[in-house]
Amino acid sequence: MQEGGARGEEDYPDNELENDCSGDEGSDCSSLNDAWSTASMPVLPNIADEGELMSSESEDEGELKPALVPSMFPFLPPTLYFSTANQRVEPLPPEQRKLLKWKMSTVTPAVVKHTIVRSHFKVTKKSHDWLGCWGHHMKSPGFKAIREYQKLNHFPGSFQIGRKDRLWRNLSKMQAQFGKREFSFFPRSFVLPQDIKLLRKAWEDSGSRQKWIIKPPASARGIGIQVIHKWSQMPCKRPLLVQKTCSVIFRAPSLALLSCFSSG
């Protein structure tokens, strides 16, 4: 991450992390993502600005863990410890604990909210001096305003492999440059609607018994993925990535998923 930039901390918008996300090709956000984030996320009580999240777990239960974990590498500072549900974290001294601020987002998962509770973070929606945030992917210029100590759940440009249509496009370029011998581990894919004619021809050439897997290009956690075998089952009005399912069954389930379904 880059430090500094055209905007300083004072004029960094409070909603930058959410508004800097777009639905165009330069972002992995989409209406599909918004749908699963609101429909599938467990509902937590409302969180007050600069307030401390209330944990349902008793403070006297669970294994006590140190707040800081020494680095495995020399001359590097320790890192904060984030516990599991059956653990507690030792509080830092007050002068350090007041620095533990987490910037909330509309897509922050419930498991992340509960985890930062156990590590004694306070949540904020307006402060600029937060340490961490789990939110949408930003456009690349937005990363210039992120300070060195602030951590996000995205790297700049990660949508190039995070979006399924972009992953296919980049793998195709690598295959064209270096050959199929090195890049034959993924199935041919069709990005709809632009590849609809190519898909129709491949569909007809493959026979009626061939099954196809369809995926939203920018969704997650398997949401929206379907296996179909009739052309009439193909959705016509939304972006999709379409691939053949393979007929070879591997003993290792993970290999089967990787080889048959690519980046589901």
Helices (H), 138-221: 159-162, 164-178, 196-206
Residue 262 banded pLDDT, cuts 50, 70, 90: very low
CA distance 18 to 1: 18
Identify whether the C-beta of residue 80 lies closer than 8 Å to the C-beta of residue 119.
yes
DSSP bridge pairs for 88: 64
**Predicted pLDDT at 140:** 81
pLDDT at 141 over 80: yes
80, with CB counted inside 10 A (0-12, 13-18, 19+), is middle
**Predicted pLDDT at 59:** 52
**Predicted pLDDT at 247:** 54
**Predicted pLDDT at 3:** 37
Q: Letter for the amino acid at 197?
A: K
Helix (H), strand (E) at residue 151: strand 151-152
Residue 53 banded pLDDT, cuts 50, 70, 90: very low
pLDDT at 110 over 70: yes
**Predicted pLDDT at 243:** 94
In order of 46, 111, 148, the CA distances from 107 in angstroms are: 14, 11, 23
Query: Whole-number mean pLDDT of the chain?
Result: 76
Q: Which of 33-42, 53-62, 144-153, 254-263 has the highest mean pLDDT?
A: 144-153
Provide mean pLDDT across the span 70-94. Answer: 94
| Alpha-carbon dihedral sign for residues 252, 256, 259, 263 | negative
Q: Letter for the amino acid at 238?
A: R
Q: Letter for the amino acid at 77?
A: P
Identify whether the C-beta of residue 124 lies closer than 8 Å to the C-beta of residue 103.
yes
- End-to-end distance of the chain based on CA atoms, in angstroms? 28
**Predicted pLDDT at 1:** 39
Which residues neighbour 190 within 8 Å (Cβ) at sequence distance 6 or greater?
A: 196, 198, 199, 202, 241, 242, 243
**Predicted pLDDT at 144:** 87
**SS3 assignment for 48-66:** CCCCECCCCCCCCCCEEEC
The pLDDT > 90 percentage for the chain reads: 47
Q: In what order do the strands lie in the sheet with 226-228?
A: 189-192, 240-244, 212-215, 226-228
pLDDT at 48 over 70: no
Identify whether the C-beta of residue 259 lies closer than 8 Å to the C-beta of residue 246.
yes
**Predicted pLDDT at 124:** 86
User: Strand, helix or coil at 171?
Assistant: helix
Q: Quick one: tokens of 242?
A: 């379409």
Provide mean pLDDT across the span 1-26. Answer: 37
Q: What are 159-212's pLDDT values in tens digits?
A: 888 899 999 999 999 999 999 888 988 888 999 999 999 999 999 999 888 999
